[in-house]
Structure 1
């Protein structure tokens, strides 16, 4: 779910963040988001529809349309509104159930609030019926499940969920040569799991759709930060294109930096799209995966031309920022949604990052500004969790996430100075 407020803690839900969301011109009602000025009976139907589909969030106290000169965030009496919604859920739902309510008060003395209603499919009983019918969510509106959809909902395992909130990914593995030695300096991996629409569950990948995703990646921030990571080690670059293991339900798009040394590819990026197989039992909630790997061999390149090299922290900061910026890029998410046959609102933000290195991280990083803590131990990477409250489309919040990850990287490696180094880097004007 792209809206970071859905996963934010109650403490992180502020009226400033809600006003910023409502003010965004691109933020419209969707499969997973709806605005309501006040309580109405249709609100209860929307809760059931979201529960029977992909979940979502309803913000009560916001005009559903932005009009010039009209205040969009108007607020409601929180307790009265919550009581009405809860009463409607008890009276209408079979079985009885209610979502999570979070009142977010205004920052004045008005006593008004926006009520955030969260509908989590991982805890909702499915199907959730109203008058023996199962509402479902379409883009910006509600509908009713047909017989086939209702049967699928009824056959779900309890708490099966539609999409795992953890977005867990398999940790990458370093390649090995014929003598069993690693062939990369490090591999970074991130990605997302996401649901699959009706057509995405059975049709093969479209060549045109895969080509459009490759084009979106080539036009994103990703190639530029990969170039920076290479540090002048390459004299030729290939754009993202299909290479290697590609099948009817798997697309593998590869970007290369190419050098003249024995280390032919000092930097490589691989984006893999995997749709669920159509053979064998059909899963209740089919899941597709998008995996992004950055493979670095710049230190090995430097060794091959008899120079010394370590990875500067600013280069890694640019890499992580560009990587996250690409994953939430509207053009990229639109192509991912097209391939999986879902609404773009369901293309989630990445929840974790893996890094695995062939040596201690302290030996991988350029030492400027960093100092080893005596007897602190060492690290060869690890798993880095994302803050679900951050909106990675926002440059400042994306920077906060990148800095959090780099601070963790430094501390796990037994190093001090990372915070000061990042502060200096952020304060230095870019050319």
Structure 2
């Protein structure tokens, strides 16, 4: 799903953003997205199909195919189009139901607009019928629910099949040694929940698919981000490989630094957990993919008897967070996650939550260059960082905006000022290279 537009407020739905979406060569019609040049009866069928599946977005006023020399964003008369769609929904849908409409006007005097239609399955009266049939959405097209699918729709609990926009994950825990002391400096965790396809709900994990995911992770920006976090404490690593608790419905892929000290300065763990299925279920099955970044660079410095306590530079954390988010939207990684869950790639959501758990006050872990303590600000040993659902993390500028927001929150929660200026200074140095 194009989550940035789906979650954007009405004020943020601009014709510039829609034109940018339509111009993207990789943005084609999918399970949760459809383009329509103008009103048609098939458009209302698509509304019903999306409502009976995972929801989605229909953009009216856009040619469904990009052709050389042909303008893709053509627009429509917004009020006339909305009136026609609403009238047909009232006449043809059983029970009558309307999605949400957002007219987005052109930035000229043409009077034309693109009509954005959001279909939220959480509020639709499922099953939604048209001509006594229940349409469902397949990849880029509509089909009709068979008897089993129709019964599931009729029996499901409210919200059971909705793709969650809030990708909530459990907070991590620091491990402890035999004396009860933490063995890590801190852990970052993010992740996503995703629905399961019919085959993914019952079949065991494929060895090849797990190995393909490991390869995609190794080829992603993630290893470089982990090396940046390590700050020269290691020169080699194992790369992501299966290690530890792997089962028929659980995959555990681990990246480990190789250093001269007994302490591994950096480690990352990717967990894929498919739900266990025992008999029939009335609720939608959800899989979970989480990434833990485990940092021990401070402990590594202690083990080699460094002259002073190590503190993490903010730019290293910025590179880590950017690499972490970039990995979750990397096309190769998304492809392998979708294959494991047996779902359309459009249903692999973007991470919307980040957890930090530290073994001490965060302000003691950060390098204080450019930062100042707020008197009597109190202590913070971590926190939960929410993401802006209107940001598309596939876009560099929007991903960096999210990282910068998290860093600002990190500084303020730690009782420090100056993070905003520090982040702006860092971006001023790195953005020219990013644009090159």
Output the TM-score relative to the length of structure 1. Answer: 0.98
Tell me what 1:374 maps to.
Answer: 375
SS of structure 1 residue aligned to 2:240? strand
Tell me what 2:328 maps to.
Answer: 327
Tell me what 1:356 maps to.
Answer: 357
Distance change (3 Å), C-alpha of 1:212 and 1:2: farther
Q: Distance in 2 between matches of 1:87 and 1:181?
A: 66
* Cα deviation 1:176-199 (Å, max 9, x = unaligned): 111111111100001100111010
Q: Distance in 2 between matches of 1:326 and 1:421?
A: 25
Q: CA deviation at 1:77?
A: 1.2
SS of structure 2 residue aligned to 1:363? helix
Q: Distance in 1 between matches of 2:4 and 2:282?
A: 27
4+ residue runs over 6 A deviation:
none
Q: CA deviation at 1:280?
A: 4.7
Bigger shift: residues 375-384 or 25-34: 375-384
Tell me what 1:77 maps to.
Answer: 77
SS of structure 2 residue aligned to 1:83? helix
Q: CA deviation at 1:164?
A: 2.2
Tell me what 2:286 maps to.
Answer: 287
| Contact 1:49–1:137 under 8 Å retained in 2 | yes
Tell me what 2:55 maps to.
Answer: 55
Tell me what 1:145 maps to.
Answer: 145
* Cα deviation 1:136-173 (Å, max 9, x = unaligned): 01111111000011011111012333322211110111
Q: Distance in 2 between matches of 1:84 and 1:236?
A: 62
**Which runs of structure 2 are paired with 1:121-132 in the superposition (5 Å)?**
121-132=121-132
Q: How many residues align?
A: 430
| Contact 2:271–2:291 under 8 Å retained in 1 | yes
Question: How well do the aligned residues superpose, as a CA RMSD in angstroms?
Answer: 1.2
Bigger shift: residues 273-282 or 38-47: 273-282
1:163 aligned onto 2:163: yes
Q: CA deviation at 1:82?
A: 0.9
**Which runs of structure 2 are paired with 1:342-353 in the superposition (5 Å)?**
342-353=343-354
Q: Distance in 2 between matches of 1:227 and 1:266?
A: 10
| Contact 2:157–2:282 under 8 Å retained in 1 | no
Q: CA deviation at 1:428?
A: 1.6
1:303 aligned onto 2:302: yes
Q: CA deviation at 1:258?
A: 2.2
SS of structure 2 residue aligned to 1:428? helix
Tell me what 2:265 maps to.
Answer: 266
Q: Distance in 2 between matches of 1:92 and 1:283?
A: 28
Q: Distance in 2 between matches of 1:374 and 1:161?
A: 49
Bigger shift: residues 91-100 or 317-326: 91-100
* Cα deviation 1:33-90 (Å, max 9, x = unaligned): 0000111111000000001111100000111111111111111111111111111111
Q: CA deviation at 1:283?
A: 4.8
| Contact 2:161–2:283 under 8 Å retained in 1 | no
Q: CA deviation at 1:223?
A: 0.4
Q: Distance in 2 between matches of 1:12 and 1:179?
A: 53
Output the TM-score relative to the length of structure 2. Answer: 0.97
Tell me what 1:276 maps to.
Answer: 275
Tell me what 2:366 maps to.
Answer: 365
Tell me what 1:38 maps to.
Answer: 38
Distance change (3 Å), C-alpha of 1:274 and 1:256: same
SS of structure 2 residue aligned to 1:173? coil
Q: Distance in 1 between matches of 2:250 and 2:342?
A: 15
Bigger shift: residues 163-172 or 277-286: 277-286
Distance change (3 Å), C-alpha of 1:299 and 1:185: same
Tell me what 1:201 maps to.
Answer: 201
Q: CA deviation at 1:3?
A: 3.5
SS of structure 1 residue aligned to 2:181? coil
Q: Distance in 2 between matches of 1:206 and 1:339?
A: 8
* Cα deviation 1:318-373 (Å, max 9, x = unaligned): 00000111000000000001111011011111111111111111111000000011
Tell me what 1:107 maps to.
Answer: 107
SS of structure 1 residue aligned to 2:238? strand
**Which runs of structure 2 are paired with 1:410-425 in the superposition (5 Å)?**
410-425=411-426
| Contact 1:163–1:287 under 8 Å retained in 2 | no
* Cα deviation 1:213-245 (Å, max 9, x = unaligned): 000000000001101111121243111000011
* Cα deviation 1:2-55 (Å, max 9, x = unaligned): 532111111211110000000001110011000001111110000000011111
| Contact 2:214–2:253 under 8 Å retained in 1 | yes
Q: Distance in 1 between matches of 2:229 and 2:258?
A: 13
| Contact 1:2–1:349 under 8 Å retained in 2 | no
Q: Distance in 1 between matches of 2:384 and 2:52?
A: 33
Q: Distance in 1 between matches of 2:19 and 2:204?
A: 42
Q: CA deviation at 1:131?
A: 1.7
